[in-house]
Amino acid sequence: MSARPPLTKELTVGLLIVSDTAAADHATDRAIDTLTAVIAEANAAIHGNTYEWLIEERRIIPDDKDKIQEKIKDWCDTKGLSLVVTTGGTGFAKRDVTPEAVSELLDKTASGLVHGMLAASLKITPFAIMSRPVAGVRGETVIITLPGSPKGAKENLESIIKLLPHACIQAAGGDSRVLHSGGIKKLEKEAGVIPLEGHDHHSHLYESGGLASDDAIGMSSGCGHHHHAPTPRTQQSGEAGGELRSNDLTGNVAQRHRSSPYPMISVKEAHKLIAQNIPAVGTSSAPEIIKRSVDAGLVGYILAEEVRARESVPAFRASIVDGYAVVHTDGVGIYPVVGVSHASPGEIKPLEAGQIARITTGAPLPPGATAVVMVEDTRISKTTEDGTEELEIEILASGLTELENVREVGSDMKTGDLLLGKGAEITAVGGEVGLLASVGIREVLVYRKPIVGVLSTGDEIVQHDRVEDLSIGEVRDSNRPTLLAAITARGYEAVDLGIAKDQPGTLEETLKASFSKVDVIITTGGVSMGEKDLLKPTIERTFAGTIHFGRVAMKPGKPTTFATIPFKNKISKPIFSLPGNPASATVTFHLFVLPALRQFSGFIGDDVYLPKALVTTDQDLVLDPRPEYHRAAVRIDRSSGNLVAKSTGGQRSSRIGSLEAANALLCLPGLGEVGDKRTRVPRGDKVEALIIGDLKVLDG
């Protein structure tokens, strides 16, 4: 096998916003943000590939033909960008001149791209017919013109962005023999697009591209369909044992890996590697055992000892009804009331045969009494003159047995009885706390719960509650509040480690300072393929940590990384580096981190994982090549008792909204995994769901 050379470097992009309004007031522009997000999303979807979009130019200019041409010439002829994207000026208004300005500059037109964009837009609105896009090549640069509305521009760009690398690489002089070796199927796979069924692969090499496929439509409507990520084109390198796989940060960017050197492992293998590297009960690296007092704070702990009753319950002979304590052999008749026993501590007058005493539920039996007659089986016979006190009572019940209506000492629990076994979970229901409390257990040995540190990374990330508006490129930190909330709500102590910039020193210092404070570290961001993605190099090269895995075959969450970093005398700190995309971070937290925290706190076997259940889907679910964790709300259908799943909508990994009101992750198999030729799970079928939140009842 001859290894093919990497196909290209970064694909540079220029965004040219053509708009009189936005040019007059830059603050009104939304196109730059929108398109930047589309491109970032495309990059996020191509982790591990041999190309990456890099936005080099962003400009806002008025609807002026000369200005448009001047800028485009500069970007194509002088700067040699791979792709120029314009927005605006494609309508029928007098000032709309972008297509005219661009057409004059093109060496080659690309009617296929125009057709693709229009086809995608027409699926959304018939008004797309009012757009006049042009596309083509100037020199080595591909140029496309998008409509001015951010929504339209987004939909158009999304519909073709997966195909554009191919066009840009060719325009830049890529060897088309190399590019096309392997045929169109391979190209489609690499671009992450799936053609229409029955599509002729051989006769329409260039027209195909899957533009009219379900996939492209799914992308442009952004409503829960699939984004097939491209797969790397070249062989992976550097899996030689002992070598560090991460990028050497002292080298320059041109030397970094262009495909992930970490093998892609399955979720199951990832779970196994985590389980092997987190303290576990019954192993040499068992979780620490601590003493905890029996109170509300005990919930969520696992007992590290067997607990036996210190006392008997009840500790005295107690009545289980309101009535009269008697000597059971006395029988029917009228008896004097010689005393009263309430459920309160204190001396109680003994009873002799022929006497009775009034008694309430839970109160101790007077010495000498052997049974209790219910108040319903008695009649008042004589009271004091003022009528306030009972003097004599007629007992109507006959044939009383010894200890009738009495809880004997230790009848619930005897001193020394097993109360809770080792490994018992103290639940939020309260039953276990109650049991321990009932026999006076004040402290128990439990496994210590881990303290979890949460760190966000990224130069673009700002505090979520910062008052000022965002400037271009800034992103509010949603991962840290999300994870801190989830960790705390699950009963673990969370430590906020803040935001680390994408600079080796900052990340290193923050991590170092956290080792002594926390047991487990969660970071988000910086595990992709960008040169600013520092997590893996820092773990391996600065802290001599071991990366147990750096890529998992799943969606979302492919770049999820798990490592351990050696710390003082053999303790090692587990570190979960989750992808930055909010949905990915949250899904991988529930799938990987939470089980690790549970194992650390003493759960064993399958109990470390969140529960799974079969649920019925209420819509068709399209399968992705990778196993997918599809966010859904699972409800209990009250009449049938079935669990019904409703997708939360758009599933792209950057969409944190896909987790709002979600309480389950539908575990969809990867395309290749299912034995049959299914490409979707039809509505009404059952799928496995990981239950991550409380179940609710179906409305209506």
At 353, the amino acid letter reads A
Q: Is 528 in the site for ligand AMP (CB under 6 A)?
A: yes
**Interatomic CA distance for residues 688 and 673, integer angstroms:** 14
**Least distance to ligand AMP from the beta carbon of 586, Å?**
10
Q: Is 81 in the site for ligand AMP (CB under 6 A)?
A: no
**Interatomic CA distance for residues 97 and 559, integer angstroms:** 43
By C-beta, is 365 or 529 nearer to Mg ion? 529
**Interatomic CA distance for residues 192 and 44, integer angstroms:** 13
Q: Is 165 in the site for Mg ion (CB under 5 A)?
A: no
Q: Is 456 in the site for ligand AMP (CB under 6 A)?
A: yes
461's contact among Mg ion, ligand AMP, none, with CB below 5 to 8 A by partner kind, is ligand AMP
Binding part of the chain for ligand AMP, among 305-313, 474-482, 606-614, 625-633 by CB under 6 A, reads 474-482
Q: Is 458 in the site for Mg ion (CB under 5 A)?
A: yes
By C-beta, is 261 or 458 nearer to Mg ion? 458
* b/e burial code for range 479-490 (CB count within 10 A of at least 16 → b): bbbbbbebbeeb
Q: Is 423 in the site for ligand AMP (CB under 6 A)?
A: no
Pairing of strands 451-457, 493-500: parallel
40's contact among ligand AMP, Mg ion, none, with CB below 5 to 8 A by partner kind, is ligand AMP
**Least distance to ligand AMP from the beta carbon of 656, Å?**
7
Question: Burial of 628 by CB count in 10 Å (0-12 exposed, 13-18 middle, 19+ buried)?
Answer: buried
Check: CB of residue 494 under 8 Å from CB of residue 484: yes
* DSSP labels, 340-407: EE-SS-S------TT-EEEE-TTPBPPTT--EEEEGGGEEEEEE-TTS-SEEEEEE---SPPTTTTEE
Q: Is 17 in the site for ligand AMP (CB under 6 A)?
A: no
By C-beta, is 88 or 526 nearer to ligand AMP? 526
Q: Give me the residue whose beta carbon is nearest to Mg ion.
A: 458
**Interatomic CA distance for residues 42 and 45, integer angstroms:** 5
Q: Is 643 in the site for ligand AMP (CB under 6 A)?
A: no
Binding part of the chain for ligand AMP, among 183-191, 473-481, 560-568, 614-622 by CB under 6 A, reads 473-481
Q: Which residue in the set 230, 323, 580, 602 belongs to the binding site for ligand AMP (CB under 6 A)?
A: 580
Beta bridge partners of 82: none
Contact positions with ligand AMP (CB under 6 A) in 479-508: 479-480
Q: Is 561 in the site for ligand AMP (CB under 6 A)?
A: no
Q: Which residue in the set 88, 537, 579, 602 belongs to the binding site for ligand AMP (CB under 6 A)?
A: 579
SS3 160: helix
**Least distance to Mg ion from the beta carbon of 563, Å?**
17
By C-beta, is 458 or 550 nearer to Mg ion? 458
Owner of token pair 């995309």: 581
- What are the C-alpha distances in Å from 651 to residues 183, 219, 222, 225, 604? 31, 10, 8, 7, 32
**Least distance to ligand AMP from the beta carbon of 158, Å?**
15
By C-beta, is 473 or 605 nearer to Mg ion? 473
Residues in CB range of 345: below 8 A, 6 or more apart: none
Q: Which residue in the set 313, 475, 518, 596 belongs to the binding site for ligand AMP (CB under 6 A)?
A: 475
By C-beta, is 456 or 601 nearer to ligand AMP? 456
CA torsion sign, 370 to 373 to 375 to 380? negative
By C-beta, is 564 or 584 nearer to ligand AMP? 584
Q: Is 88 in the site for Mg ion (CB under 5 A)?
A: no
**Interatomic CA distance for residues 274 and 576, integer angstroms:** 10
DSSP classification of residue 302: B
Q: Is 261 in the site for Mg ion (CB under 5 A)?
A: no
**Least distance to ligand AMP from the beta carbon of 541, Å?**
19
x/- map, 645-684, ligand AMP, by CB under 6 A? ---------x------------------------------
478's contact among ligand AMP, Mg ion, none, with CB below 5 to 8 A by partner kind, is ligand AMP
**Least distance to ligand AMP from the beta carbon of 529, Å?**
8
Pairing of strands 371-374, 418-420: unpaired
By C-beta, is 176 or 463 nearer to ligand AMP? 463
Q: Which residue in the set 478, 542, 642, 679 belongs to the binding site for ligand AMP (CB under 6 A)?
A: 478
Check: CB of residue 208 under 8 Å from CB of residue 185: no
Q: Is 526 in the site for Mg ion (CB under 5 A)?
A: yes
Binding part of the chain for ligand AMP, among 49-57, 340-348, 452-460, 630-638 by CB under 6 A, reads 452-460
Angle between the 111-124 and 214-221 helix axes, to the nearest 10 degrees? 60
Binding part of the chain for ligand AMP, among 220-228, 317-325, 486-494, 577-585 by CB under 6 A, reads 577-585
Beta bridge partners of 356: 337
Owner of token pair 């009963």: 491
579's contact among Mg ion, ligand AMP, none, with CB below 5 to 8 A by partner kind, is ligand AMP
CA torsion sign, 666 to 45 to 670 to 559? negative
- What are the C-alpha distances in Å from 337 to residues 271, 331, 392, 395, 606? 70, 15, 6, 11, 61
**Interatomic CA distance for residues 437 and 18, integer angstroms:** 72
Binding part of the chain for Mg ion, among 171-179, 526-534, 633-641, 670-678 by CB under 5 A, reads 526-534
Q: Is 131 in the site for ligand AMP (CB under 6 A)?
A: no
Q: Which residue in the set 32, 39, 40, 357 belongs to the binding site for ligand AMP (CB under 6 A)?
A: 40
By C-beta, is 323 or 582 nearer to ligand AMP? 582
Q: Is 147 in the site for ligand AMP (CB under 6 A)?
A: no
Region of 131 please: left (phi>0), alpha (psi -120 to 50) or beta: beta
Q: Is 537 in the site for Mg ion (CB under 5 A)?
A: no
29's contact among Mg ion, ligand AMP, none, with CB below 5 to 8 A by partner kind, is none
Q: Give the total of residues touching ligand AMP (CB under 6 A).
A: 22
Question: Burial of 304 by CB count in 10 Å (0-12 exposed, 13-18 middle, 19+ buried)?
Answer: buried
Q: Is 525 in the site for Mg ion (CB under 5 A)?
A: yes
Check: CB of residue 75 under 8 Å from CB of residue 61: no
Check: CB of residue 527 under 8 Å from CB of residue 559: yes
**Interatomic CA distance for residues 81 and 65, integer angstroms:** 20
Binding part of the chain for ligand AMP, among 63-71, 243-251, 416-424, 453-461 by CB under 6 A, reads 453-461
**Least distance to Mg ion from the beta carbon of 530, Å?**
7
**Least distance to ligand AMP from the beta carbon of 190, Å?**
21
Backbone angles phi, psi at 688, to 5 degrees: -80, 140
Check: CB of residue 236 under 8 Å from CB of residue 259: yes
Q: Which residue in the set 152, 279, 525, 550 belongs to the binding site for ligand AMP (CB under 6 A)?
A: 525
Query: Which residues contact ligand AMP by CB under 6 A?
Result: 40, 44, 456, 458, 460-461, 475, 477-480, 524-528, 530, 579-582, 654
